[in-house]
Structures are given as C-alpha cells and as structure tokens.
Chain A
Amino acid sequence: MTDPPPAPPASGRGEAVLHLEGVAKRFASPGRGAPAIDALNGVGFTLREGRIMGLVGPDAAGKTTLLRVCAGLVAADAGEVDVFGAPAARLDRGLIGYMPQAGALYAELSVEQNLSLYAKLRGLRRDEWDERIGHLLDLTGLAPFTRRAAGRLSGGMRQKLALACAVVAAPPLMLLDEPSVGVDPLSRREIWRLARDLAGPETAIVWATSVLEDAEQCDEVLVLHEGRREYFGEPAGLAGFAAGRVWSLPVPAAQRRGALRAALEHPATIAGRIEGGEVRLTLRSLADQPPKLALAKASWRERRPQVHDGFAWVLDDGSALRPSTVAAAFPEIAHEADAPPAIEAVGLGKRYGDFTAVHDVSFAVAPGEVFGLLGPNGAGKSTTFRMLCGLARPTSGHGRVAGHDLTTAAAEARQALGYMPQKFSLYADLTVAANLRFVAGAYGLAGACLREAVERAVENLALGEFWRLPAGTLPLGVKQRLALAAAVMHAPGVLFLDEPTSGVDPIVRREFWHHITGIADRGVAVLVTTHFMDEAEMCDRLLLISRAETIAQGTPEELKQQALAVRSAGATLEDAFVALIAAQRERAREAA
C-alpha cells in the first residue's frame, strides 16, 4: 500500500515520548462488599518515538488504568508520569490520540459524521478536513459506507473507524485500548496495517491487548499482572523465558483433545494447545520432562518458544489445572456412532428486507462433538448461531436442537440447550447467588433441587468467594465463569457458546476450553464461535462463513488443505482462514 516504514530506531535512542517511574493507582471499592483495587503498583517504562509498545496482561491487570494515566485522564497516586518531557497533568491533549476500549463512536451518526465530528473536536483546520477525512476513509476501506450509521457497522469496521477517529489529527502518540478485541484474524491484520499506515515515522504507539499474537507485532512488550510490571523488553525476550520448556507431540485427531487435557492436568505443565495436528506444551521447569501419554506412539520434540509460551511462564502461579468438575457434573450421554445429530441446520437462511444475512447454511453436529463457527465480523456467523438457539427466526430452511424443531417446539428446544452469549447478559445489579437462583428457577428447578444445582455450580466454577457480590462488579474472567455456570446449570445435552472467550486473557481461555472439551467428552454437542485460531484448532470440525455463505467445512486439517488448494498459504489455521476468504473475494470480483 505505502512504502515500507523506515526501520525503527533501536531501543535507547530517539526522543522519549513516555517516561513513567513508580506509578501507583488505587481505586476505592465499587461498593456492596467488593474489595478496593490496586490497579497499578510501581509501574515504570520508557517509550521512545517511532516505537510500538504492546501492553499485555490478564484481565484487570491495570492496562486500561495505565493508558488513562498516560493520557492524563487519571491522576496517579504516586510516581512520575512524563509525556513529551512534561508532567501528564500539564499535558497538551492535542498530542495524544486516545482510543478507549470499544471505541468512542456515536452509534447514531454516520461514518462520515463521526469522522468530521472528531476532526472538529480535535481542532483540525477546516481546509484540512476534506483531505484528511478522505485519506482516512481510503485507509480504513470505509469509503463505500460513509453514510452508514456507526452502530450498524460490523465489529471489525467499527474498530477501524474508532481508531481513525482517535487519530484524526495525526497525533505523535497513540494510546489504543484493545483495538483488536473481538475481531476476526483478517480484520486484526487490517487494523494493524491501518495503525502502521496512520503512524508517522516518529509516532509512538501503545497497544493494549490480551491477544498475544498482537504482542508479537510490537517492538516492545510490557507485561502487567495485578498492577505490577512482570516484564518489559522485546517480544523475543519474553518468548525466551520459555526456551527449552516447549515440546510438541503428534497425536491422532480423535485422541488429541483427551491427550491435551491429560497433559494440562499434569503438574509439570503450565500451558498447552493444539497446533497443526500436534499437542504443544509449555513446561514449568527445564528439568521437567513432558508427561507420558499412553496413546501416543511418537516421541516429544523440543520446539522454538513463542511469545505466548513466555507469557504463560511469566504469569504461572505454580498450580496445575484440575480435572473439570463442571464436566464431571454432566451425566454421561451414551451415544452410538450413527446417533441422530444433536444440532442440525438445514438450508438455514435469513433475510432482513433486501439484505441477506445468511444464505443456505447446512451442517450437523453429533453428540460429543465440538463444532466451530468461524468467519469475519458481520459474515452471518452470529445470525446463524442465533437462529439455531432460537433467538432469531429463519426466513428459509429450519434448525433442530436435540430433536426439537426450533420453530414448532421452541420451549422444548430451549429447555434442552445451554447458551452463553457473547456479551455478559446476566443481571449486573443482582448478586452471583441471585443470578444463579434466577436461572435455576427459570429452568423449572425449585426447593432442594434448586439449592443443590446452585451449590454445585458455585463449587465447580469456584464462585464461592464472589457469592454475595453484584455480578456487575466482578472481573471479566469471573463474569465469564458465572455465565458458563448459568449455561450449564441444567446439564443440557447441547451447549451454544458465542465467542465465550472474547476479550478474556489466555489463562482464563485455557481454563475455559478445559471445561468445554471435558463437557463434550461427556457426550454433549458443543457449537462455538470464536476469533481465536488456537481455539478453532480444538474443534472437531469447523464451518467457515463469509458474506452470508459457507465457504469451507471440515476438520482443521481439511480446512488447511482446502486453503492450500486455492492459493499458496502459510501452514497455520490463521493463514488458511485469511486465504479462503481472500479467494472468495477474488471470485466475487471476477464475477462482477
């Protein structure tokens, strides 16, 4: 698109844009029994011009607070905050482009109105507007949608617009709070390209994220954990912590998930994932040997560590994952190989007026299978998902869940399924206890049965200490656990998970998938949507939807093969995802 950016100056040279030392910030308790929060505790770093710093850490690590301190929106309790050589309190805000989490767009205003509003607010001269806004529209690829309301954009486009609005005046410092949260791999690549295009050679960027793939793109990484700095330096240095601790082993597809679960429950393991047909582990100590897995014939091989391995090592709390008690609470569902599918979509379609959201999607999920729905934001993935759990009515075709037709026996179908929505949907004002009691009651439990079910859920998902707290005050990871507890309260035979780990840190994600695969092994059919390719690798089969249509269906390996057949792509699932979608777009262009 443009010339490659000039090589960034090496660390230690160039003017310091941000310089923090011993920064601390404590927030009072949000009330009703929730504890006070030490958001930052002695954090310091220096960011020089032209550099991109990744701010990574688990949820509630203090990332947002640190960004707000740098932007001069929150005053630190202690420590020194210098921005462009001056204290943050006397900062010229015009020098900073701050993009808050989820952006600060006016949903009712159009793309163009949002941009010109921010141009005005940022004090851009009237004669510069047209050129700058035109340039931003080109870069974001939003030029065809200038009149569309921001609230009606897909997730990826919305993030791009929010980014463009934040940096409309081309500030020399960009503070971006999770610009890539909840977006698909393709959009994430586009957002990265956009940020680099928008940055001048001297622009410094702070990029907060809980996605470690983002961290790999940065010049420097600051790892925060519970308000403390755990690491600051180049990404390679972070990966280096795990050197000699990363191992992989090829395992046949049918046993992969079980093997990973067994390995994760081994005390020597801190993290693990499935990658290209292999189980890949990060071990706690150099002295540890990877656990022996009964079914594997091949032997473990040492691998080159990546950023996520180092991150897992840095944040390791020394304890192994315990077997999923959530899964153990499910009755074993016996199922034969030729059992009828638990979830079935037949020619499912949905139109809103002239707009086709989903066109002719068909698939079936067997009991005990984890089925992944992938696709770019706005491709029709969520609509398909919502039709199958009865939240949207199909305009063509039909869906069945646990043998019940969704249009004629909706109540029976809903009794048979558990659902975890993308956004936290429980009652923020109610306590954890009240929320769980409500959900259990709504599933028709009462008296001793209800008490038992609620107690079991609380114990299995370790919610005991939050029992009396309002759900709205919980950290994100705990919220997700609560949502899962509510979804599996009645031990459903079918589980729907809509981006269950969106915005959640890798530690919680690992714990979550431990439960999910455990539940599937009890014979539950799981339909899951995700933007994380490591999660997609955990699925038995995948369906890739783009522009309302199915473009690929099969096991992760089959998807990679299909991608290789259409164009030369890299070896990872993410490469396959990007390649298959690009191929579809090319076909559409040729046809036009």
Chain B
Amino acid sequence: MSRQGSNRLSRLAALALKELKVVLLDRRARTTLVISPIVQLLLFGFATTLEVKSIAIGLVDRDGGRAAQEIVAALDGSPNIRELRVYPSERALGDGLARREVIAGLILPQRLSADVAAGRGGEVLALLDGRRTNAAQIVGGYLERIVARAGAELRPRLRGPPQPQAIARNWFNPNLDYLWFTMPAMIAVITAVLVLSVSAQSVAREREFGTYDELMILPLTPAEILLGKVAPAFVVGVANCLFYTAAIPLLYGVPFTGSLALLLVAIVVYSMSLVGLGLMISTLAGNQQQAFLGMFFVTVPLILLSGYAAPVDNMPEWLQPLVAVNPTYHMIVVSNGIFLKDLPADLVLKHLLPMLGAAVATFTMAWALFRARSE
C-alpha cells in the first residue's frame, strides 16, 4: 500500500503543480485574480456606501413625549444624518419622500411615550424610499437601532411596493457603520467569484486547448484529475482571504476580534464547496466561453441568496431551504461572526458542516459527470 500510496501522492502533486502553473502563467487569469479583489475592495468600501452617510431624515412627531425627545436627540446626534426635517403630517412626509427631500421618515404615534413608560414597548412607523432599496435598508438599520435605544420598536415600510421589514438588531456594531457588515461579507463574495472562475475554466480549458487527450491518456483516475484541479482554487481562496483580513481592518478600521485560524479553516471548506460547483460547470462546458456563462448562471443566485444583497428573512418561504444549503450564506455568517464578535469554534462548526456537505455533494456530482463525459 505504501508504494501505491506514495505513487498516488506524487501523481497528485505533479497534477496540482501543473494546475497552479497553468493558472499563474496565464496573463489574463493572473490579472483577474490580482486586480479584481483590489478593485472590489476599494469600490465597495468607498463608493457604494457613500450614499448612506450625510442623509436627510423626515419626522412626524405626534407624541412629543420623553421617548420622542430621546429619538429626536439621537437622530440629531448621529454623524450620518445631515438634516432632520419635521413634517406636519404623514402625507407631507410621503410627498417629501417622493420629492427626494428625505430618504426615510419616522412617524412617532401619539401614545409612544406612554407605551414605553408603561413597558409595553411602543411602535414607531418608518417610511423608507423604496426606489433606493439598498440605501434605504441601511438607513432602516440605523433608525431601528436609534428607536430601540428609546425603548420602542420600529415598523419599517418601504415606499414603492409596501412591504413590512424586520431588520436584525445590530448589537455588535454599536456605531452602525455599515462597512462593518459589508466588508467581512465581501470575503465570502469575492472568494466565490474568484474560486468559481478558476475552477470553472479548468476542465473547459483542457478541452478547448486540446490538452484533454493528453490528460486522459495518462494513468490518472477521474478523482485524481479533479483533486489536482483543486490546488489553484485553494491558493486563490486562501490568498484572497489573507489579503482581505489584513486590508479590511487597515483600510476601514473594521475590528478583527476572532481567530484567524478558524477563518482560514472556514475559507478552505468554503473554497472546496465552490470548487466542486466550478468543476461541475467545467465538466459540462465544451469550451471556456460556455464555462464562463455557466459560472455566471451559478454566481448570481449564489450571491443573491446569501443575505449579502438582501436580508435572508425577507425572502419567501420556499427560497429559505436554498439559502440553508448555500455555502456563501454560511461563509458570510462565519466571516461576520469571526470579525465582529469572536465567534466561538462550536458555532463556526455549525456553519462549517453545511458547507462541508455542499462540498461533498458537488464533488461527487462533478466526479460522476466527469466520468460520464470522459470519452
């Protein structure tokens, strides 16, 4: 066995080395792998979050009591809020939203202070500009936190298609800096894009360049070939993770409170699940172009169903099971947790297991497809 085993290992090593070289020597691939994480980091960090600083908030105060004063004071003191406009009525606030004078508004009901004082917890209605969904959601988060401090609950309503929103409370992000959420989650998203693009091209590239025959004639089993193709994706995943873990605290001051080792373990398992998916696409594709389209087909739902762009709780029931098996969702939870609240190992494990399951499932499918199409 030992001879056979070492033989197999040296074969795998030769394959992995070859895969790494092929990816790193391809100038286009190299550029994509190095430039795109940097661009995304800067783009997401600086550009997309600008619109939720320096905002205008509308207010209809029918209460005027203690709770209302607290809320107004908090709004006034928030560094993100440039202007607080007071409207006489809900209708006037609605018009203000329509005219884009404000991005959101709070309506403090008459009995708010009384309810809070009585310990019943008051309800505050929030109107959000549904045309600016992303920004409005972030603002909704600010408002919820402010209202909660005053002891009331926020009932947000998006203008546009009216839809009640429940927003998670931001215990571990006391300053409500949205970057604290987006940046750790970016690790999961950008890793998904990079690892998928590397692995989705791998088999398709061999087919397109005619090296597939050479590969098939060598005494390698389909499992060995697929395992060899894991190497570049791992290197990309881990390197990217290290880069982001170093850059995010430095550039944006997001705290890193957890264990780097745990994060790396999670990234390795996460990359594994993505490689399996990428290899499935690659096996089915006849050339690199098809592989690219296939990757697009998978990446978009992967990210949309991860809670990165839209809160998971807002998704319809029937989509929830898909979220539960989405490795990107779990990776975002783990990454946020490790960055912001020193997520303990047992809780990390709870999210690692579904990722591991996804990895095993996608690999098995990739292997079966590869065997079936290995002619």
Q: Which residues of A contact B (CB under 8 A)?
A: 389-393, 411-412, 414-415, 417, 419, 421, 423-430, 434, 437-446, 450, 470, 486
Count class of interface residues, chain B: 20 to 34
Contact of B320 with A by CB under 8 A: no
A-B pairs with lowest CB-CB distance, top 4:
A441-B14, A446-B10, A425-B214, A415-B219
Q: Mark B199-225, 1 if CB is under 8 A from A, else 0.
A: 000000000011111101111110000
Q: Which of B18-26, B147-155, B333-341, B360-368 contacts A (4 or more CB under 8 A)?
A: B18-26
Indicate if the CB atoms of B11 and A442 lie closer than 8 Å: yes
Indicate if the CB atoms of A441 and B26 lie closer than 8 Å: no
B257–chain A nearest beta-carbon distance, Å? 42
Select which of A411, A430, A446, A470 is within 8 A of B18 by beta carbon. Answer: A430
Indicate if the CB atoms of A424 and B14 lie closer than 8 Å: no
Select which of B14, B17, B217 is within 8 A of A391 by beta carbon. Answer: B217
The CA of A429 and the CA of B205, in the complex, are separated in Å by: 12
Given the interface contacts A391-B375, A392-B375, does A438 sit within 8 Å of B219 by beta carbon? no
Q: What residues on B are CB-neighbors of A425 within 8 Å?
A: 210-214
Sampled A-B contacts (16; CB under 8 Å) = A390-B216, A391-B217, A414-B219, A421-B217, A423-B213, A429-B22, A429-B25, A430-B18, A434-B18, A438-B17, A440-B14, A441-B14, A442-B11, A446-B7, A470-B25, A486-B214
Contact of B15 with A by CB under 8 A: yes
Indicate if the CB atoms of A441 and B221 lie closer than 8 Å: no
B220–chain A nearest beta-carbon distance, Å? 6
A451–chain B nearest beta-carbon distance, Å? 13
Name B218-258 residues within 8 Å CB distance of A. 218-221
Q: What residues on A are CB-neighbors of B7 within 8 Å?
A: 444, 446
Indicate if the CB atoms of B18 and A427 lie closer than 8 Å: yes
The CA of A446 and the CA of B17, in the complex, are separated in Å by: 13
With CB as the reference atom, state the residue of chain B lying closest to A411. Answer: B219
A446–chain B nearest beta-carbon distance, Å? 4
B17–chain A nearest beta-carbon distance, Å? 7
Given the interface contacts A391-B375, A421-B214, does A441 sit within 8 Å of B219 by beta carbon? no
Q: What residues on B are CB-neighbors of A411 within 8 Å?
A: 219, 221
Contact of B2 with A by CB under 8 A: no
With CB as the reference atom, state the residue of chain B lying closest to A472. Answer: B209
Could you say which of B7, B11, B209, B219 has the most chain A C-beta atoms within 10 Å of its C-beta?
Answer: B219
Further pairs besides A415-B219, A426-B211, A430-B21: 13, Cβ < 8 Å? A414-B217, A421-B214, A421-B217, A423-B210, A425-B213, A425-B214, A427-B21, A427-B22, A430-B22, A438-B14, A441-B11, A441-B14, A442-B220
Q: What residues on A are CB-neighbors of B211 within 8 Å?
A: 425-427
Indicate if the CB atoms of A444 and B11 lie closer than 8 Å: yes
Q: What residues on A are CB-neighbors of B26 within 8 Å?
A: 429
Indicate if the CB atoms of B217 and A419 lie closer than 8 Å: yes
Q: What residues on B are CB-neighbors of A443 within 8 Å?
A: 218-219
Select which of B10, B15, B18, B375 is within 8 A of A445 by beta carbon. Answer: B10
Q: What residues on A are CB-neighbors of B22 within 8 Å?
A: 427, 429-430
Q: Mark B4-18, 1 if CB is under 8 A from A, else 0.
A: 001110110111011
Q: What residues on B are CB-neighbors of A429 within 8 Å?
A: 21-22, 25-26
Given the interface contacts A438-B17, A442-B11, does A414 sit within 8 Å of B214 by beta carbon? no
The CA of A425 and the CA of B206, in the complex, are separated in Å by: 9
The CA of A446 and the CA of B220, in the complex, are separated in Å by: 15
The CA of A434 and the CA of B212, in the complex, are separated in Å by: 17
Select which of B13, B15, B212, B218 is within 8 A of A414 by beta carbon. Answer: B218
The CA of A421 and the CA of B17, in the complex, are separated in Å by: 23
The CA of A437 and the CA of B11, in the complex, are separated in Å by: 11
The CA of A442 and the CA of B21, in the complex, are separated in Å by: 15
B33–chain A nearest beta-carbon distance, Å? 15
A298–chain B nearest beta-carbon distance, Å? 43
The CA of A423 and the CA of B212, in the complex, are separated in Å by: 11
Could you say which of A421, A438, A439 has the most chain B C-beta atoms within 10 Å of its C-beta?
Answer: A438
B212–chain A nearest beta-carbon distance, Å? 8
Indicate if the CB atoms of B210 and A424 lie closer than 8 Å: yes
B353–chain A nearest beta-carbon distance, Å? 34
Q: What residues on B are CB-neighbors of A430 within 8 Å?
A: 18, 21-22, 25
Q: What residues on A are CB-neighbors of B6 within 8 Å?
A: 446
Q: What residues on B are CB-neighbors of A486 within 8 Å?
A: 214
Select which of B14, B212, B219, B221 is within 8 A of A437 by beta carbon. Answer: B14
Q: What residues on B are CB-neighbors of A440 within 8 Å?
A: 14
The CA of A419 and the CA of B213, in the complex, are separated in Å by: 9
Given the interface contacts A429-B26, A430-B25, A441-B11, does A391 sit within 8 Å of B213 by beta carbon? yes
The CA of A486 and the CA of B213, in the complex, are separated in Å by: 13
Q: What residues on B are CB-neighbors of A427 within 8 Å?
A: 18, 21-22, 209, 211
B221–chain A nearest beta-carbon distance, Å? 6
Q: What residues on B are CB-neighbors of A442 within 8 Å?
A: 11, 14-15, 218-220
Q: What residues on A are CB-neighbors of B220 within 8 Å?
A: 442
Q: What residues on A are CB-neighbors of B216 within 8 Å?
A: 390-391
The CA of A320 and the CA of B111, in the complex, are separated in Å by: 107
With CB as the reference atom, state the residue of chain A lying closest to B6. Answer: A446
The CA of A415 and the CA of B4, in the complex, are separated in Å by: 13
Indicate if the CB atoms of B14 and A393 lie closer than 8 Å: no
Q: What residues on B are CB-neighbors of A392 within 8 Å?
A: 375
A404–chain B nearest beta-carbon distance, Å? 11
The CA of A426 and the CA of B18, in the complex, are separated in Å by: 11
B21–chain A nearest beta-carbon distance, Å? 6
The CA of A254 and the CA of B214, in the complex, are separated in Å by: 34
Name B282-341 residues within 8 Å CB distance of A. none
B203–chain A nearest beta-carbon distance, Å? 14
The CA of A392 and the CA of B216, in the complex, are separated in Å by: 10
The CA of A391 and the CA of B8, in the complex, are separated in Å by: 21
Indicate if the CB atoms of A441 and B25 lie closer than 8 Å: no
B367–chain A nearest beta-carbon distance, Å? 15
Indicate if the CB atoms of B10 and A444 lie closer than 8 Å: yes
B38–chain A nearest beta-carbon distance, Å? 24
Indicate if the CB atoms of B25 and A439 lie closer than 8 Å: no
Indicate if the CB atoms of B375 and A441 lie closer than 8 Å: no
Name B138-178 residues within 8 Å CB distance of A. none
Q: What residues on A are CB-neighbors of B25 within 8 Å?
A: 429-430, 470
Select which of A415, A426, A437 is within 8 A of B214 by beta carbon. Answer: A426
Indicate if the CB atoms of A421 and B11 lie closer than 8 Å: no
B96–chain A nearest beta-carbon distance, Å? 57
The CA of A423 and the CA of B14, in the complex, are separated in Å by: 23
Indicate if the CB atoms of A434 and B214 lie closer than 8 Å: no
Indicate if the CB atoms of B213 and A421 lie closer than 8 Å: yes
A541–chain B nearest beta-carbon distance, Å? 24
The CA of A391 and the CA of B373, in the complex, are separated in Å by: 11
Could you say which of A411, A421, A425, A445 has the most chain B C-beta atoms within 10 Å of its C-beta?
Answer: A425
B82–chain A nearest beta-carbon distance, Å? 54
The CA of A379 and the CA of B128, in the complex, are separated in Å by: 71
Select which of A390, A428, A438 is within 8 A of B217 by beta carbon. Answer: A390
Q: What residues on B are CB-neighbors of A389 within 8 Å?
A: 217
Select which of A393, A414, A417, A428 is within 8 A of B375 by beta carbon. Answer: A393
With CB as the reference atom, state the residue of chain B lying closest to A391. Answer: B216
A461–chain B nearest beta-carbon distance, Å? 17
B67–chain A nearest beta-carbon distance, Å? 67
Q: What residues on B are CB-neighbors of A414 within 8 Å?
A: 217-219
With CB as the reference atom, state the residue of chain A lying closest to B3. Answer: A444
A405–chain B nearest beta-carbon distance, Å? 15
Q: What residues on A are CB-neighbors of B209 within 8 Å?
A: 427-428
Name B1-55 residues within 8 Å CB distance of A. 6-8, 10-11, 13-15, 17-18, 21-22, 25-26
A380–chain B nearest beta-carbon distance, Å? 16
The CA of A389 and the CA of B15, in the complex, are separated in Å by: 21
